[in-house]
Structure formats: C-alpha cells, structure tokens
C-alpha cells in the first residue's frame, strides 16, 4: 500500500515565506557609517552667497523652508527675516535661528543642511603654471595631489617647489609653502596636504 505524502499546511507555508525575507534582511550588512573626515568637513563648511540651505524646524513644518543665501549674505524664513548666514557653519546658523525663534516658539530645535554649495568658499582653485588652471568643487578628502592631477600637472615652466597654498582662516589669509616637485618626483607625501574649501594653490613660473 503506497503511503500518502503528507502536505504542509497552508498556514505554515505562508509563515515560512514571510520569514525568509526577514532572515535575509537581518543577515544583510549594515550600511557604512559616514567617515569621521567627511562628517568633520561637512560640519566645518563655511556658508557663502549662492548656497542653498534646507532649514528644518522640528515639529513645526510651517516654519521649515529651503532658502538661498542672498548676495547680501542673508536668508529669510518664516518669523526670522534677514538672518546673516554668510561666514557661519550650519550648526552655528541653526543655533542663531533657534535663538530668534525662541521669541515665538517654545524650545525650538533647528537643523540646517547645505544642499547646494555654490559659493566661492565651496571650491578649491589651482592657478599659475599648471596645464589646466581651474576651480573645482570641494569634497571631503581632497588633497594637493588630487587638485594637481585634475589640472593636468605642472607646465613646462613651473617652479613646483615654490608653490604656495593660500588659505583664509578667521578672515586672515595664510600662505603655506608646498614643494610640488618633491611630491611628484620624490614621493614626499608630507607635501600632499589635505585641502579645505576656499583654498587656492598658486604655482609660479621658473626664474630664468
């Protein structure tokens, strides 16, 4: 007598099919967290004219806006008009907006995100004796060598070891010497400095 194959109950098949995707999800690798360097660069970014900001006021969507930074360096949001944004970090501007809103909203919590960085302070420039002088968008982790390669390298008449990096810190321009010939020809990585938004690399011409 042939034995009858026992069939799996329908409710059990449904339960198993529902558990399989959940098991795969649990085994999937977690998304990588943003690097500390990228987070730091975003936190230190200085807002400039032309940038676009996403201003979010928690639990108050009517007060949240996406706004441009005007040529006069200010932004306007509901209840906060003509707030100076230029020269501030996102967190610094958020605290200033919170202070202004506190006259109307109890314990406001504000978050500011730069969604489009279009100001000059969001770029890095490399000029002088390079094959393709240019301004490039700043990104976290950008180095002197990255900028040099993007510009096609030094020109025939470049004085690479007399190059300078101009950087504005607290409104004051600093000049940092860079020996590009040592970086390119001798692999001196100490010359491969990390760049910041607004940096300008200048490569002079050789003296004849």
The rounded distance, in Å, linking the Cα atoms of 165 and 176 is: 5
Which homologous superfamily is 36-118 in? wza like domain (3.30.1950.10)
pLDDT tens sequence across 44-55: 677 888 889 999
Pairing outcome for strands 200-203 and 123-128: parallel
| Per-domain residue ranges of the chain | 36-118, 121-203
pLDDT tens sequence across 47-102: 888 889 999 999 999 999 999 999 888 999 999 999 999 888 899 999 999 999 99
Exposed / middle / buried, residue 175 (Cβ in 10 Å: 0-12, 13-18, 19+): exposed
> What does the mean pLDDT of the chain come to?
82
Verdict on whether the full-model pTM lies above 0.75: no
pLDDT tens sequence across 106-125: 999 999 999 887 776 678 89
Which homologous superfamily is 121-203 in? Outer membrane lipoprotein wza domain like (3.10.560.10)
């Amino acid at each position: 007598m042939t034995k009858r194959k026992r069939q799996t109950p329908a409710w059990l098949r449904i339960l198993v099919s529902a558990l399989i995707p959940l098991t795969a999800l649990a085994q999937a690798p977690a998304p990588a967290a943003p690097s500390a360097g990228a987070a730091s660069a975003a936190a230190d970014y200085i807002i400039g004219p032309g940038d676009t900001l996403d201003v979010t006021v928690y639990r108050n969507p009517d007060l949240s806006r996406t706004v441009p930074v005007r040529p006069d360096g200010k932004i306007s949001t509901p209840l906060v008009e003509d707030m100076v944004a230029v020269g501030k970090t996102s967190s610094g501007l958020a605290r200033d907006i919170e202070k202004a809103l506190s006259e109307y909203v109890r314990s406001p919590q504000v978050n500011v995100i730069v969604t489009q960085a279009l100001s000059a302070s969001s770029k890095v420039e490399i000029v002088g004796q390079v094959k393709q002088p240019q301004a490039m968008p700043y990104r976290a982790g950008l180095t002197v060598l990255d900028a040099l390669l993007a510009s096609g390298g030094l020109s025939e008449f470049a004085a690479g070891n007399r190059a300078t990096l101009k950087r504005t810190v607290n409104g004051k321009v600093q000049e940092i010497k860079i020996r590009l010939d040592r970086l390119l020809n001798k692999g001196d990585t100490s010359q491969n400095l990390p760049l910041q938004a607004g940096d300008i690399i200048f490569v002079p011409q050789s003296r004849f």
